[in-house]
Chains A and B, each alone.
Chain A
Amino acid sequence: MSMNTQGRPTAPSASSVAVFETVSGSRGLLQHEDLLFEIGTAETTGVDLPKPKGLKNRLGGVKRKADTGLAGLSEPQAVRHYMRLSQRNYAIDLGLFPLGSCTMKHNPRLNEKMARLPGFADIHPLQPQATVQGALELIDELATWLKTLTGMPSVAMSPKAGAHGELCGMLAIRQALIARGEGEVRKRVLVPESAHGTNPATAVQCGFVVDEIKASARGRVDLADLKRKLEKTDDVAGIMLTNPNTCGLFETDIKEIADLIHKAGGYFYCDGANFNAIVGRVRPGDLGVDAMHINLHKTFSTPHGGGGPGSGPTVFSEALAAYAPVPFVTKDDDGIYRLVEHVDGEASESFGRMVAFHGQMGMFVRALTYMLSHGADGLKQVAEDAVLNANYVQARLKHVMTPAFDGFCMHEALFSDAFTADGIETIDIAKALIDEGYHPMTMYFPLVVHGAMLIEPTETESKAELDRFCDALESIARRAAQGDETLKGAPYLAPAKRLDETRAARKPVLKWTAPEIERVAAE
């Protein structure tokens, strides 16, 4: 035979060294990457622009004295830079984000394709309206979906995010009170102590004063406390409620609460962050709501993008519709769509303009694509599956963790830290989840539950994903109950270990500056 001995080993031998430092700082696939200013130079650029002609400028001397000195990167370096950084991020596309009240559902890629059609992406908000009739029609169509799903007659499309939508709703209430001649006296807004921080912050931005209502032992608004606070009615502006609330529970007394507020002369603002639990099954308009913002980046699947952009259209009842902001889209009898941009004529009672241009068109395209994909039947199933998934997680974990409240939850399950041993905190459980390959759940919110852990799986998680998650969390919960100290050093397997937030807050370093040597040499 011919002995062909060329080749190399094809099966691994016993592995030797477990942990070691590398020269490059990279670890296998996980690449090390510095700040772009440490890699590029002020002379580097990754674009090829034509040479300017060298014309005499018309700036009248208003010319920049010092160049920015900002580093650039060539295209290959730029691509590497961002690809390497992207490796250090968790994402929905990777795994479950059990963040309560964030509704981290799958972001459909058809949304992205449609948003990039030049007919949507490459149009200017101020170009002639005859040339953007399709865009105006889209905004109107989305508005119709939102009004129909919520059972409300009017919607403001321009708010740029959920909190901005809250501002919109509260400004409309403020305007309604002013129109009644009661703007100076009705300044008190009731807010549950379990509310998201944006609620009291928004109320104050509108010149209101916040009056906190207690939560009952059942996690809902304490009706007795509310009634006490409504004994005096002449200074009541309204109430800000989240429903389902931040404990993941539907406010049982909501109709009575709405009636009480209306009888007191106030308005009912509903925070729509948790709409995913009830879309297609309950209409806020049937509950007495006067204004509600909707987070398109929650219920309607537009991507979170690392922190934004969001979009917060706000629906209004008949009582508030006249005060809605400009601009808005209207359709004339001849079928032509038109923007109403100024506070006069048909918009003479509007509280004004909140923002430049018409709203988050890019997010409107995505949200409408999603709504058309799901349809009325699909959206109803979305809510039911979202609630089913959350109850399944609660059922699987209730024997090792402490549910904050008895009974079924809605789209999110809330636990307290009562089950943990002394010295083990919610944050340790959260960081241990990272090692298991999950983003932590919402921690320490709502404030009414000690060491709160709020889990919202959403409807786009399969049963297998939920089981795997529950298995991992169950194991961590058992370790927490036993006082396992190794939890305190978690995460061990993430691209970074726990970071020193104290140092970041005491000595804020908020931008890169060139090291001393380079700076002196440059001078």
Chain B
Amino acid sequence: MTTYYTKDHEWIRVDGDTGTVGITSYAAGQLGDVVYVELPETGAKFARGDDFAVVESVKAASDVYAPVSGSVLEVNSALSDAPEKVNDAAQGDAWFVRVKLADAGELSGLMDEAAYTAFCEGL
């Protein structure tokens, strides 16, 4: 399994033609206390770059963009009762959706961990 990152601080952990998507710890740290995550329905389809979820802190709402095109297989329902997971385990338990990739070729446009870390340091 490989994890890829976007410039908008989403990550996707790919396993064959499915992936798990969430936001990075860096992003969660920037947002402050996460109070709510608005997730799509299973079966929803997205193109790369579409906003598919919203992360809310007390004073702001941030759109989350799809790192790749695909359809939603599963949604992390644990987040509705425990949005604070996003602050604690953004890149683990607080995944947002599992998706079926429409085009694995899109992954080549994303960063690997080293590149993303360097990218964050430059911000």
A residues bordering B, Cβ < 8 Å?
A: 444, 501-502, 504-506
B68 within 8 A of A: no
A116 to chain B, nearest CB (A): 39
Closest to B87 in A: A502
B33 within 8 A of A: yes
The complex places the Cα of A502 from the Cα of B56 at a distance, in Å, of: 10
Q: Which chain A residues border B84 with CB–CB below 8 Å?
A: 506
The complex places the Cα of A505 from the Cα of B57 at a distance, in Å, of: 8
Select B36's contact among A444, A501, A505, beta carbons within 8 Å: A505
Interchain Cβ contacts under 8 Å between A and B, 8 examples? A502-B33, A502-B35, A502-B57, A502-B58, A505-B35, A505-B36, A505-B58, A506-B84
The complex places the Cα of A252 from the Cα of B18 at a distance, in Å, of: 55
Select B83's contact among A501, A504, A506, beta carbons within 8 Å: A506
The complex places the Cα of A502 from the Cα of B86 at a distance, in Å, of: 13
Closest 3 CB pairs of A and B: A505-B35, A502-B33, A501-B58
Q: Which chain B residues border A502 with CB–CB below 8 Å?
A: 33, 35, 57-58
Q: Which chain A residues border B56 with CB–CB below 8 Å?
A: 505
The complex places the Cα of A501 from the Cα of B36 at a distance, in Å, of: 13
Q: Which chain B residues border A505 with CB–CB below 8 Å?
A: 35-36, 56, 58
The complex places the Cα of A252 from the Cα of B42 at a distance, in Å, of: 51
Interface class of chain B by DSSP: loop
Contact mask B34-69 → A, CB, 8 Å, 1/0?
Answer: 011000000000000000000011110000000000
Closest to B82 in A: A506
Q: Which chain A residues border B58 with CB–CB below 8 Å?
A: 501-502, 504-505
Tally of chain B residues near chain A (CB < 8 A): 9
Q: Which chain B residues border A506 with CB–CB below 8 Å?
A: 33, 35-36, 83-84
List 6 extra interface pairs beyond A502-B35, A505-B35, CB under 8 A.
A444-B59, A502-B33, A502-B57, A505-B36, A505-B58, A506-B33
The complex places the Cα of A444 from the Cα of B59 at a distance, in Å, of: 10
A22 to chain B, nearest CB (A): 32
Closest to A504 in B: B58
- Most B CB contacts (10 A, CB to CB) among A501, A504, A505 go to A505
Q: Which chain B residues border A504 with CB–CB below 8 Å?
A: 58
A505 to chain B, nearest CB (A): 4
A360 to chain B, nearest CB (A): 30
The complex places the Cα of A180 from the Cα of B59 at a distance, in Å, of: 41
- Restricting to B104-121, which residues have a CB under 8 Å from any CB of A? none
The complex places the Cα of A501 from the Cα of B84 at a distance, in Å, of: 13
The complex places the Cα of A501 from the Cα of B59 at a distance, in Å, of: 9
B79 to chain A, nearest CB (A): 11
A257 to chain B, nearest CB (A): 30
The complex places the Cα of A502 from the Cα of B59 at a distance, in Å, of: 9
The complex places the Cα of A505 from the Cα of B59 at a distance, in Å, of: 10
Q: Which chain A residues border B33 with CB–CB below 8 Å?
A: 502, 506
Closest to B83 in A: A506
Contact mask B75-109 → A, CB, 8 Å, 1/0?
Answer: 00000000110000000000000000000000000
A311 to chain B, nearest CB (A): 28
The complex places the Cα of A437 from the Cα of B83 at a distance, in Å, of: 36
B123 to chain A, nearest CB (A): 16
Closest to A501 in B: B58
Closest to A444 in B: B59
A197 to chain B, nearest CB (A): 12
Q: Which chain A residues border B35 with CB–CB below 8 Å?
A: 502, 505-506
B34 to chain A, nearest CB (A): 8
Closest to B60 in A: A444
B84 to chain A, nearest CB (A): 6
The complex places the Cα of A502 from the Cα of B83 at a distance, in Å, of: 11
Q: Which chain B residues border A501 with CB–CB below 8 Å?
A: 58
The complex places the Cα of A444 from the Cα of B83 at a distance, in Å, of: 25
Contact mask B2-42 → A, CB, 8 Å, 1/0?
Answer: 00000000000000000000000000000001011000000
Q: Which chain A residues border B36 with CB–CB below 8 Å?
A: 505-506
Q: Which chain B residues border A444 with CB–CB below 8 Å?
A: 59
The complex places the Cα of A444 from the Cα of B60 at a distance, in Å, of: 12
A509 to chain B, nearest CB (A): 13
B108 to chain A, nearest CB (A): 32
Closest to A427 in B: B59
The complex places the Cα of A444 from the Cα of B36 at a distance, in Å, of: 22
A496 to chain B, nearest CB (A): 17
Q: Which chain A residues border B57 with CB–CB below 8 Å?
A: 502
A439 to chain B, nearest CB (A): 18
B7 to chain A, nearest CB (A): 21
A185 to chain B, nearest CB (A): 26
The complex places the Cα of A506 from the Cα of B84 at a distance, in Å, of: 8
B76 to chain A, nearest CB (A): 16
A452 to chain B, nearest CB (A): 13
A428 to chain B, nearest CB (A): 15
B11 to chain A, nearest CB (A): 23
A502 to chain B, nearest CB (A): 4
B6 to chain A, nearest CB (A): 23
Closest to B84 in A: A506
- Most B CB contacts (10 A, CB to CB) among A444, A501, A502 go to A502
The complex places the Cα of A502 from the Cα of B58 at a distance, in Å, of: 6
Closest to B35 in A: A505
The complex places the Cα of A506 from the Cα of B36 at a distance, in Å, of: 7
The complex places the Cα of A505 from the Cα of B33 at a distance, in Å, of: 10
The complex places the Cα of A504 from the Cα of B83 at a distance, in Å, of: 13
The complex places the Cα of A81 from the Cα of B57 at a distance, in Å, of: 34
B46 to chain A, nearest CB (A): 21
- Most A CB contacts (10 A, CB to CB) among B35, B57, B59, B83 go to B35
